[in-house]
Structures are given as structure tokens and as C-alpha cells.
Amino acid sequence: MSGAGAKGDRTAVLFVCLGNICRSPLAEGLFVHLAARLGVSDRFEADSAGTGAWHVGRPADPRTIAVGLAHGVPVPSIARQVDPRTDFERFDLIVAMDRSNRTDLLDLGAPRERVRLMRSYDPSLAGASESGLDVPDPYLGRGDGFELVYAMLLRSTEGLLDELLRARR
């Protein structure tokens, strides 16, 4: 579901974090996995990217891959940096993992109306203040941070797909 090319009538979603090795690759993997399970893969394109360039060309963090596999979710992402020249035109929706990622995206020129916070799609957080909507960066923490991030991303991805599918009806 990821990748380049004309998106046609597919809704194209870009997940963005800082390094593109922990949070956004898992969000992308979950989105692809859940869309396939719902039988709607042909309606979407998904990709992920980082605002930073430190890990470009590398697979996701081994802890990200492990937590995905533990839940049956492949995480095949190879890290890349956000490309303002193409990404802001190509993607219908740009989903930031935290407020800092969102600020960076807007500073790079991302269209405000297409940038959203990932956890704003979690129905259990409806009405929560924005300060409670960050997906915490698990990179420097202990391994259990990845399970927590997985649970947050699962609820958010379910809400995101639900909203996108309702909008397309």
C-alpha cells in the first residue's frame, strides 16, 4: 500500500515522527495491517517519514519491529526524511506523532488543514486537551515504552480508519 506513483482516487496518508524508526513506521504498519483486515487496502496509500535525517536508509528500530511482530503487524519501513517538495502535495493527510513533529511540519510548509495529531483520532480521547495527545518518543526509554506506544497507535489507527471510511461513503 505504500510507495510512489499517482494515487488516483486513493486516500494517501503520511505518518510522521522525528527519526522514522520508532513511532511512524509502526503507525504505517498498523494502518496497512488494519486496512487489509477490513478489506479496504485498495482505497489507501500509506507511508511514513521523519523530520530528522539521522536514520535515513535504515530499517525500523529492532524494538519497533519486535512489538509489531508480537502483535502480528509487519513493520517493513525503511527510514526516509520528509520531502517538502513532494510530500505536501502527494499526501491527503499528514499525521504527526506529537506536537513537536507538527510544529516542524508546519515550519517546513505543510498545509495546516492536512496536518493532524495521531492521537486526535483515538475516540477515547475525544475532548482531551492537546497536551495529552502526544505519542511519547520511546527511543531512549526502556522496552516497555514500545508496548505503550503500540496500544496508543492501535486505538488511534482504528479511529483514523473509521473516520476515513465514513468520509468516503
Tell me whether residue 40 or residue 108 sits nearer to ligand 4NP (CB atom). Answer: 108
Range 52-91, binding ligand 4NP (CB under 6 A): 54
User: Of the candidates 139, 145, 147, 148, which one interacts with ligand 4NP according to CB under 6 A?
Assistant: 139
Cell 475516540 sits on residue = 123
Q: Mark out the alpha helices in the chain (DSSP H runs).
A: 23-37, 62-70, 87-90, 99-107, 144-168
Instruction: Please identify, among the stretches 18-26, 39-47, 67-75, 117-125, the one whose residues bind ligand 4NP according to the rule CB under 6 A.
Output: 18-26
Grid cell listed for 140: 531512549
- Interface with ligand 4NP, residue 93, by CB under 6 A: no
Instruction: Please identify, among the stretches 14-22, 40-48, 121-129, 152-160, the one whose residues bind ligand 4NP according to the rule CB under 6 A.
Output: 14-22
DSSP letter string, 2-25: -S-S--TTSEEEEEEESSSSSHHH
- Interface with ligand 4NP, residue 20, by CB under 6 A: yes
Range 36-55, binding ligand 4NP (CB under 6 A): 50, 54
Is 22 a residue of the active site?
A: no
Can you tell me whether residue 161 is helix, strand or coil?
helix
* Edge-to-edge strand list for the sheet holding 11-17: 44-50, 11-17, 93-96, 115-117
List residues with catalytic annotation: 17, 23, 137
Q: Which residues bind ligand 4NP (CB under 6 A)?
A: 17-23, 50, 54, 137, 139
